[in-house]
Copies of this chain bind each other. A is one copy, B any other.
Amino acid sequence: MKVVETVSGIRETLANMRTAPGKRLKVGFVPTMGYLHEGHQSLLSKAKAECDIVVLSIFVNPLQFGPNEDFDKYPRDSERDLRLAEQSGCDVVFMPSVQEMYPNPIRTSVSVKGVTERLCGASRPGHFDGVAAVVLKLFHIVQPDKAYFGLKDAQQVAVISQMVSDLNVPVDIVPCPILREADGLAMSSRNVYLSAEERREALVLSKALGMAERLAQEEGLTFEALRNKIEGEIRSTPLADIDYIEVLSYPELEPVDPSMETVSRTSDMIVALAVKFGKTRLIDNVILHRK
């Protein structure tokens, strides 16, 4: 496995690897902020199965963190990351410095309207502009055929898919299922922040979303009722501090009239939530497929 830290280095490495005699090799790309877990590893495995060359990037992107967010304390462990990447069959790791990615202050902004206005877009102003810019930069640097993203950040997948479609970026976006711990907690690099007690209480999120999936089978239940039941469940947990709970169309992420619509739906929906436990903000979601 090769580890490359510069833009020119990764371009040269991939140019050389791509030129197999008589065959156009496919590059699969998994962009991450590092501190890998099994969720990331599942993306690498999928890329390995579908492509000839698997590239992982590890870059904690300052542009997508707000001034009071956790950029500085975001967990980093590149030695462990490289070990896990190699185990998952990764071929090349791109691990640039902030200086390498932003040698000068960036003057170009990339903004996706519509899908960024709700959920984390509302709670974290500017966050998705930072995500869009860094992902577009990484796509231009790596020039992958396919790129793999976890659905835990469902809104991120929606934003990137919209950008790729609007700007004709020559890459296929592959959304991949959320991976969960044995007890249901969605895997996240930020889980490491949780105290034992917070970790225990955070199970309410996957429990409430599981309940949402079951409730969605009932005829005649309105989205408002569904949302209220989820909220009630989470409010019963002392440490849970709700940022948002929303039921939206998927993948458009547009609101439905909560009192009118019933859950016997004609299109896919997403129940998405962000809840703080202590200082740690967790997100999770479930997609309710149309009946």
What is the interface of chain A, defined by CB distance below 8 A to chain B? Answer: 7, 11, 19, 24, 104, 106-115, 132-133, 136-137, 140-141, 143, 162-163, 165-170
Beyond A108-B162, A110-B110, A162-B108, is A140–B115 a contact (Cβ under 8 Å)? no
Residues of chain B within 8 A (CB-CB) of A115 are: 107
* Complex CA distance for A11 and B140, rounded to whole angstroms: 17
* Complex CA distance for A132 and B166, rounded to whole angstroms: 13
8 closest Cβ pairs, A-B complex = A108-B166, A140-B168, A107-B113, A137-B168, A106-B166, A108-B163, A107-B114, A109-B111
Nearest CB of B to A266, in Å: 21
* Complex CA distance for A29 and B167, rounded to whole angstroms: 18
Closest B residue to A136 by beta carbon equals B167
* Complex CA distance for A132 and B107, rounded to whole angstroms: 12
Contact of A111 among B104, B111, B112, B143 (CB under 8 A): B111
Closest B residue to A113 by beta carbon equals B107
* Complex CA distance for A140 and B165, rounded to whole angstroms: 11
Nearest CB of B to A189, in Å: 25
* Complex CA distance for A160 and B66, rounded to whole angstroms: 28
Nearest CB of B to A96, in Å: 10
Nearest CB of B to A103, in Å: 9
Closest B residue to A168 by beta carbon equals B140
19 other contacts beyond A19-B24, A108-B166, A136-B167, with CB at 8 A cut-off? A104-B165, A104-B166, A107-B112, A107-B115, A107-B162, A107-B166, A108-B110, A108-B112, A108-B163, A109-B113, A110-B110, A133-B167, A137-B167, A140-B167, A140-B169, A140-B170, A141-B168, A141-B170, A143-B170
* Complex CA distance for A162 and B106, rounded to whole angstroms: 9
Residues of chain B within 8 A (CB-CB) of A169 are: 140
* Complex CA distance for A136 and B170, rounded to whole angstroms: 12
- Would you mind naming 23 contact pairs between A and B with Cβ atoms under 8 Å apart? A19-B24, A104-B166, A106-B166, A107-B114, A107-B115, A108-B110, A108-B111, A108-B112, A108-B113, A108-B132, A108-B162, A108-B166, A109-B111, A110-B110, A110-B167, A133-B167, A137-B166, A137-B168, A140-B168, A140-B169, A140-B170, A141-B170, A143-B170
* Complex CA distance for A7 and B137, rounded to whole angstroms: 22
* Complex CA distance for A119 and B141, rounded to whole angstroms: 32
Residues of chain B within 8 A (CB-CB) of A7 are: 168
* Complex CA distance for A105 and B137, rounded to whole angstroms: 23
* Complex CA distance for A263 and B37, rounded to whole angstroms: 60
* Complex CA distance for A163 and B107, rounded to whole angstroms: 8
Nearest CB of B to A55, in Å: 15
Which of A24, A110, A112, A169 has the most chain B CB atoms closer than 10 A to its own CB?
A110
Residues of chain B within 8 A (CB-CB) of A165 are: 104
